[in-house]
Chain A
Amino acid sequence: MIYLDYAATAPLRPQVAEMLAQPSLRTLGNASSLHRAGRHARHLLENARERCALALGAKVEEIVFCSGATEADNLAIFGPLGHPDGLHHGLVTSTLEHAAVYTTARNLQESGQSVHWLEVTPAGQIALESLSALLAVQPRSLVSVMAVNNEVGSRQPVEQAVELAREGGALLHVDAVQDPRKARELITSGQVDLLTLSGHKMGGLHGGLLYVRQGVPLTPQILGGAQEDGRRAGTSEVLRAVSLAIALELTLEEDPTPVRAARDILEERLLELPGALRLGPIDNSERADHISSWLFGDLSAEPILAQLDLLGVCASSGSACSSHAIEPSRVVSAMGYGERAMGLVRFSLGWKTGDDEVRRAADLVEETLKKMMAREKVKR
């Protein structure tokens, strides 16, 4: 199997698997309990928090562990906007965001709150002019911008967004699930108020982290016990947190060059295919190293991905609905490709991807597409 779907879930890191296999975990208690089994759990949880804080340049009390990045995104949006201090009103975001933010924003809008949508460029980036225009009208908004778009890999102009947000006193949330390095940069330099990370995108278990800068008002969205300093109720998910810390450290230590090189090998080959169009910014500095997204003529992604799977290549399309059918990509539509939004094919690379793997994958993609294009029948 050639796995090229890291942007969906990265393979579990061996270091995480080793941690999970430790015999001492079999007697782990509840991190809220007073006895030794509970203390053990609490030690692991708080140690994980410390490691995450250290890796990101944050304070320990700024790290909130959640069930996943979706929950973290929800908390980042509903948390400040619903706070009784009423300091921040309205959300500014874009259709490029992951469903965790996008659907939350739609929900806010439908419930009558003010939500403003940023304009989107054909390269899959937010238009900064529209951000400054919106912030001029509503300076104390919550701005939610992702670091790297998960479907096409475009980097968002987060630094510039920070500056614009700061001027009028807006809060800035960054979903950095696809770019933990940027997360460290933004947090270390104190540029961001809220930031989301996901464990399983880095090779950990499925679990999320929300960075909340000290002083940012936050209303809990899940009510119950007083875990996570009253910001997220529910029994602490110790093993998720530990796995996230391990995966985050490994990710930040890694040299990004091999992934970039493997991506370049893949892209060089795919560019030769007739009708192949790589999506996202042309300039490599404006896109993530690990995501390579394509449209292949008018072909729909479904049969391409099925055929690739039969040949042992795991790739994916944009988003899927609840029945796992591919839906037209909202992101690709927003970029102006309209009808062709069913054609998005995404390859994403990561810690285990090797050059030989992508060469073999390129062979199989080429074989599949040449056959399909020759047929020209299977269309949307």
Chain B
Amino acid sequence: MKRVVVAMSGGVDSSVAAALMKQQGYDVIGVTMTLAPNEGSTAHKGRGCCSVWDVTDAEKVAWKLDIPHYVFNLRQQFEEHVINDFVAEYEKGRTPNPCRRCNQHIKFDALLEHAEALDAEAVVTGHYARIECDEAANRYKLLRGKDIAKDQSYVLASLTQAQLSKIRFPVGFYSKPEIRQIAVDLELGVAHKKESMDLCFIPDGDTAGFLTSRLQTQKPGPIKDAGGTTIGEHGGLGLYTIGQRKGLGIATGKPRYVLELQVAQNTLVVGDFDELDKAGMTVDELTWITPEFPTKADIQYRSTHRGCPGTLEGRLQDSEITVRFDQPQKAINPGQAAVFYHGDEVLGGGTISRNF
């Protein structure tokens, strides 16, 4: 029997992923990776991701499905590669995407290593995305999940051909309601479990509080308008994101938005909604799934965005490329991922380095 390792977070999606693989006749091994720092009991503040209770949920599902289940400790790697980077990016006035970084540097590498050690042929997760094999070209394609509202291909764009060849996303071929229904039909206890919306290492959702406790170099500085006039004071640049409107603490009679974080001058630049418009951006840390450089693509630059058309200037081997939007786009945040699509297909992606 072919063996697969399923990453089980204790949520409904990965639980159903395990069930689907089992139904398809695979020898399934469940694995839960603990990532977020272990800070004692979280029961009193509600469950965070990777809490004991999530592991317990995963164990219950595994027991019900009659599959072995193991917990692997990746806390140290997660702290080093994801949390430290998350804080460092904010220090630089950028807006990081820790889920993408975790997928790129930790989660799949660790899973694939464990799968190999356990003689499994593939790794399975509960992500809403699809992988297709183009047998003629002997290449794998990464596609948006069937449920567009749930699609997670944006945080998976850094997967390589080698990784894609050993990964399965069974959930990506279903809609969220269908997944919940499967969980109900199989009487999995997690069928109605609430979606986790927060970052797994900030279970209470208080990102600002988390950053305040971690950021080293935060000091107050001026808030200026685009003309250079000081109109207020900010509490430290790490707490702001381009496009942010709330929490600026300035009363000017009209809504003001964060336009730019000038780290060197410790200055926050704000302006009108229209001033958020950007014609393009540069993108580095590039990874490509497609074998050919796409000159035209739909570009997604935020996890909740669904892409806009634009032109790409560069070559596959370039370390940085330039992207020009067909229409100006708002709130282009350096540090966020830019992912390039043709229709549902992910061509590649990278990190936004500058906007213009």
Could you say which of A109-117, A220-228, A283-291, A320-328 contacts chain B? A320-328
Name A303's contact: one of B38, B54, B68, B114 (CB within 8 Å): B114
List B contacts of A303 (CB < 8 A).
113-114, 117-118
Shortest distance in angstroms between B69's beta carbon and chain A's nearest beta carbon? 9
Q: How many A-B contacts at CB < 8 Å in the complex?
A: 62
How many Å lie between the Cα of A302 and that of B113 in the bound state? 12
**B248 within 8 Å of A (CB atoms):** no
Given A302-B73, A307-B118, A310-B118, A323 contacting B113 (CB threshold 8 A): no
How many Å lie between the Cα of A15 and that of B59 in the bound state? 32
Is A323 a contact partner of B117 (Cβ separation < 8 A)? no
Chain B interface residue count, CB cutoff 8 Å, equals 24
Q: Which residue of B lies closest to A326 (CB)?
A: B73
Name A310's contact: one of B32, B51, B68 (CB within 8 Å): B68
| B interface SS class | mixed
Q: Which residue of A lies closest to B73 (CB)?
A: A325
Could you say which of A75-83, A152-160, A372-380 contacts chain B? A372-380
**B50 within 8 Å of A (CB atoms):** yes
How many Å lie between the Cα of A322 and that of B113 in the bound state? 24
List B contacts of A378 (CB < 8 A).
113-114, 116-117
**A306 within 8 Å of B (CB atoms):** yes
Shortest distance in angstroms between B199's beta carbon and chain A's nearest beta carbon? 18
How many Å lie between the Cα of A134 and that of B117 in the bound state? 47
**B140 within 8 Å of A (CB atoms):** no
Name B71's contact: one of A324, A342, A375 (CB within 8 Å): A324
Shortest distance in angstroms between B106's beta carbon and chain A's nearest beta carbon? 13
Is A306 a contact partner of B70 (Cβ separation < 8 A)? yes
List A contacts of B38 (CB < 8 A).
321-323
Interface residues of B (CB under 8 A from A): 29, 32, 34, 38, 41, 50-52, 54-55, 59, 68, 70-73, 75-76, 113-114, 116-119
Chosen A-B contacts, 24 in total, with CB atoms closer than 8 Å, are A302-B72, A302-B73, A303-B113, A303-B114, A303-B118, A306-B29, A306-B68, A307-B118, A310-B68, A322-B41, A323-B32, A323-B34, A323-B38, A323-B51, A323-B52, A323-B55, A325-B71, A325-B75, A326-B72, A327-B73, A342-B73, A375-B117, A377-B113, A377-B116
Apart from A323-B51, A378-B117: 9 A-B pairs, beta carbons within 8 A? A302-B70, A309-B68, A321-B38, A322-B38, A323-B38, A324-B71, A325-B55, A327-B73, A342-B73
Closest 5 A/B residue pairs (Cβ)? A325-B73, A303-B117, A323-B55, A325-B71, A325-B34
Interface residues of A (CB under 8 A from B): 302-303, 305-307, 309-310, 321-327, 342, 372, 375, 377-378, 380
